Chain A
Amino acid sequence: MNVIEIKDLVKIYNSSEVQVKAVNGITVNFEEGEFTAVVGPSGSGKTTFLNMLGGLDRPTSGSVKIGGTNVWDLSSRKLIDFRMNNIGFVFQSYNLIPVLTAGENVEFIMHLQGRPKKEREERTKEMLEAMGIGDRIKSRPAKLSGGQQQRVAVARALASKPEFILADEPTANLDSHSTTELLELMSQMNKKYNTTFIFATHDQRVMDKARRIITIEDGKILSDEKFER
């Protein structure tokens, strides 16, 4: 079943006389449980694509349908709530609210969702433990390593029970050991909860784990391949 249906997506930036076609007509679908990498050289349009797909950046034209909802038809307030309930985000770095502990960072989103306290607490613990950092629940982000911070970000994304998780270069700031660990954990989560993961990356180790690789260049899909792993 298709979770995401994208049609003729275009994003044109008009910055001082030059027109940049960051995304230039992408049509693609994503299914439940995918573990997909969107790859391509720097400047090829990966971030722009993910941001439009995630309801963060309004497309110039084209549509993004998530679970049947045309996200870019939503009002900005509704869109924020939609993101909260349907999409998990993991950015390259500084994902967490610095003044909240790891546990609070995970719990907060469920709080926004209006989930009961007991459920929030249990799920926070479960997610942090699943990501191998149950013991750091009370630590503030500044006290965590880059890899641990990314794991908290993944735990936070999973905790809200989203349709899918978008991760834009989640490993770009990590050393190779942390990268391997994080990827292994995300792959486990993908299998355990059947949560869709979509990465933007040019990290070979991410590509090696991905079961689908969409290559884009100059804002267009160059290839779309699936692998059995």
Chain B
Amino acid sequence: MSTYFIIAWRNLWRNSRRTLITSASIFFGVFFAIFMSSLQRGSFENMVDNMVRFYSGYIQIQESDFNQHRSLNNSLQTYQTFQQEIENHPLITQSSQRIESFALAGSDENSFPAMLFGIQPEKEEAISGVSKWLSEGSFIKSGSKDLLIGKVLAKNLKIAVNDSIVLIGQGYHGVSSAGIYRISGILDFPLPDLSKQLIYMDLQNAQEFFSMPGLITSQVIMVEKPEQVAQVIRDLTPKLGAEMKIYAWDELQPELVSLIDGKTASGKVVKLLLFMVIGFGVWATIIMLMHERKRELGVMIAVGFQKTRIMIMIIIESAFIGLIGILIGIGISYPFIWYLFNNPIHVTGEMAETYKSMGFEPILKFGINPDIFLSPAFTILIIFAVLSIYEIWYVARLKTVTALKA
């Protein structure tokens, strides 16, 4: 067996330039595919992470009609016993109650529609770390009557910390609600949509504003890892009251899921095309290689090499070409991706504005999951498996006499 390796290895370097070019094309494909997948994965994870932390949570409990009709009329009583269940579940890391609604925010100058979130400040802070976006002023505490407001909204309203704004909205069962509130802090959210619309107030404050004491629209539940979501939902479902419904993040964010699915699919198409081009390139190399050695193969068969031995030798040789490409591809991309994973690229200048205008955080994050590296390697292996069928076919139908005359 080792003799096959020796012959295959030496054959590999007979035309070292060709071998290197072929391996380089595989390296390029592997590297590009890894880079692309890593960037995609990183940005998806970041998007999900942002969305989950700022909007939906991994799991949400709502009144059963709230998801269809996001009206305060479909809000939920908070039961102490159920809160205890959540408190005690080992996989649940955080949980926070919210009121999500809308109001018109007005200043002396202007008025704009706003997303009004009634939150439990300390718990919400634990989930989204929202205070890190605080650019001016101070964060709110439980029981506070003050507001936190998105930077862009503040700018549009031409107001600053300690200024007052008027909120006008529709409360529980159509009660009209209005109030005047002081700005405690300004939040410079990375997500432009939030920055333009979001107002946070203490939950109790919101309950008063909307005239709905003791009611919430949703309860957000966080877990350590996305994989735990299903388990927690299974555990909580039997404990839910009749009017409650439980959702996983992907049910609450169908647009995000389809965006990710669409981008993943188009990424796959690009990678497929890339690997097809590389595959045909490698095939051309193998055709040349076999053709050049036709006579030599004829001599080998004449003097006593079984065709199966020759097939094995050629498959080993081409596997070397593939392995060199794969190993160098992974070897170079791993540290590269590892660096980018730990040092995400902050997009600046005009690019950053473009990102923001499309609703994305201006940052390029990278994923480093093992499958990002393994799946291009696996694709290359499949290509070589297919090519080895060609090699087997070529040797099998090779006529000794014809080969000798080549």
Contacts and interface: CB of A to CB of B under 8 A. Distances in A.
B388 to A, nearest CB: 20
Contact of B304 (A57, A80, A94, A98): A80
B290 to A, nearest CB: 15
A27 interface: no
Interface string B276-309: 0000000000000000000110011111111100
A161 to B, nearest CB: 12
B402 to A, nearest CB: 10
Given A94-B295, A98-B296, A80 B14 contact: no
Contacts of A108: 3
Contacts of A89: 299, 302-303
B217 to A, nearest CB: 75
Contacts of B141: none
Interface in B163-218: none
Nearest to B297: A97
A144 interface: no
A85 B294 CA distance: 23
A85 B404 CA distance: 20
Interface string B214-230: 00000000000000000
Interface size grouping (class) on chain B:
10 to 19
A56 interface: yes
A56 B304 contact: no
B311 to A, nearest CB: 13
A80 B119 CA distance: 83
**Candidate in A96, A99, A111 with the most chain B CB atoms within 10 angstroms:** A99
A28 B400 CA distance: 24
Interface string A65-94: 000000000000100110111000101001
Nearest to B12: A99
A56 B299 contact: no
A97 B296 contact: yes
Contact of A80 (B10, B11, B305, B401): B305
A169 B102 CA distance: 97
Contacts of A100: 7, 10
Contact of A91 (B3, B305, B306, B404): B404
Contacts of A84: 303-304
B3 A80 contact: no
Contact of B306 (A77, A95, A156): A77
Contacts of A54: 302
Contacts, number: 56
A95 B299 contact: yes
Main secondary structure of the interface of B (DSSP, over half): helix
A56 B400 contact: yes
A99 B3 contact: no
Contacts of B401: 51, 56-57
Contacts of A81: 304, 306
A130 interface: no
Nearest to B14: A99
Contact of A56 (B3, B7, B302, B307): B302
B305 A112 contact: yes
A1 to B, nearest CB: 25
Nearest to B293: A98
B301 A111 contact: no
Interface residues of A, number: 26
Interface in B373-406: 400-401, 404
A156 B303 contact: yes
Given A94-B295, A97-B296, A83 B303 contact: yes
A109 interface: yes
A195 interface: no
Contacts of A97: 7, 296, 299-300
**Candidate in B3, B10, B303, B404 with the most chain A CB atoms within 10 angstroms:** B303
A160 interface: yes
Contacts of B295: 94
Given A51-B401, A56-B400, A94-B295, A99 B302 contact: no
Interface in A151-172: 156, 160
Contacts of B300: 97
A77 B3 CA distance: 20
23 contacts: A56-B401, A57-B401, A77-B306, A80-B305, A80-B307, A83-B302, A84-B304, A89-B303, A91-B299, A91-B302, A91-B404, A94-B295, A94-B299, A95-B299, A97-B300, A98-B296, A99-B11, A99-B14, A108-B3, A111-B3, A112-B305, A113-B304, A160-B304
Given A83-B303, A112-B304, 17 more contacts: A51-B401, A51-B404, A56-B404, A80-B304, A80-B305, A80-B306, A89-B303, A91-B299, A94-B299, A95-B299, A97-B7, A98-B296, A99-B7, A99-B14, A100-B7, A156-B303, A160-B304
Interface of B: 3, 7, 10-11, 14, 295-296, 299-307, 400-401, 404
Interface of A: 51, 54, 56-57, 77, 80-81, 83-85, 89, 91, 94-100, 108-109, 111-113, 156, 160
